[in-house]
Amino acid sequence: MTASNLADTPVGPSPVDVVMSMALGYLVSRSLHVATELGIADLLRDGPKTVEELASSTGAHRESLYRLLRTLAAQGVFAEDEHGRFVSTPAAVLLQQGVMRDGVLLCGEVTGDGSWWDAVGALRHSIMTGEPAFHRQRRMGFFDYLREHPECGQWFDRGMANFATAENPAIAGAYDYARFGLIVDVGGGQGGLLAEILTRHPNVRGTLFDLPEVVRNPVYLSKEAFAERWTTVGGDFFQSAPTGGDAYVLKRILHDWSDEQCVRILRCCRAAMGDRARLLVVDTVVPAGNAPHPGKVMDILMMVFAEGRERTEKEFRELFGKAGLQLTNITMTPSTLSIVEAIPA
């Protein structure tokens, strides 16, 4: 076989290639984190750049930076054109400031204190004991740690807000919220999802429910934008939820907690709900079978950091049943999240 024929022969990855790619996958993710920290995506916002230009702007070693970007270009993050310049891609746009940059840095713990990597490195402990590795590493729960280390809490909040900004339009656009007069966003943080829903549905009102210190000054809600259409209520979703809502939303809440803790949260929502109210759980629904899905990887993260998990449809049904609720529908969204709908049983 000649060299030209060899180049034209389609060759898929061998089992060895697959295993080695997975074994060395941390190098790809770390490369993504470093490129994001250097702001490469923002530098390419206005057009192609040579590696010399990028190295000059970032202070990086030219040859080493080229090798980093070549690796990421092979993953579709950037692209190298025929002139040897690097150009942006749809994936690279997500790494820009104000899009998903802070979320990606959260995953890489570029602005953290090492606790993230330490816990992931202790994954074996979780596998062998069923306990969150983070608890073993830091001698306390993840959310307790964030409260005791405000700088880490702020870093975590920035990253999660970044992800939410990318997700919320998809969630708000995938479901008919207009049929509800009052939506209660339980554990709604700074009000990003609620604001997106109120913007799209001018006849809907909203209540933002979270810890008192969280809802004191919600970033995404304002009287100027939404007049008198929203209120805030401070409280603890393990103890109660505001009454009177037509729909109760729990976005990325249940996956943080054990089954027992989830049942407590759901029972509080059920107690607040009228007989015609709806519960909308916005979370990953892990599909059956061997197909790749981000929720399957996120489930490992939840195992390491908290007592939570990403759940299947069957697991959601079981949780709801223990709380006096009945799963009625699952709506997929143009994101990794689905809207799992339940009514009083």
Catalytic site residues? 255
Q: Is the dihedral of CA 216, 221, 225, 230 positive or negative?
A: negative
**Cβ within 8 Å of residue 177, ≥6 positions away:** 183, 197, 200, 201, 204, 247
Q: Rounded distance, CA 122 to CA 110, Å?
A: 19
Q: Rounded distance, CA 50 to CA 205, Å?
A: 51
Q: Rounded distance, CA 233 to CA 184, Å?
A: 10
99 exposed, middle or buried (CB, 10 Å; 0-12, 13-18, 19+)? Answer: middle
Give Cα 317 to chain centroid, integer Å. Answer: 23
Quickly tell me which residue has 């079981």 as its tokens: 318
35 exposed, middle or buried (CB, 10 Å; 0-12, 13-18, 19+)? Answer: buried
In which element (H, E) is residue 145 found? Answer: helix 142-148
Q: Rounded distance, CA 32 to CA 241, Å?
A: 40
Q: Rounded distance, CA 2 to CA 77, Å?
A: 32
Q: Which residues are registered as beta bridge partners of 234?
A: 210
* Residue 174 backbone dihedrals phi, psi, to 5 degrees: -95, -5
Classify residue 158 by its DSSP letter: H
Residue 270 contacts residue 343 (beta carbons within 8 Å): no
Quickly tell me which residue has 């709380």 as its tokens: 323
Token readout for 222 is: 């304002």
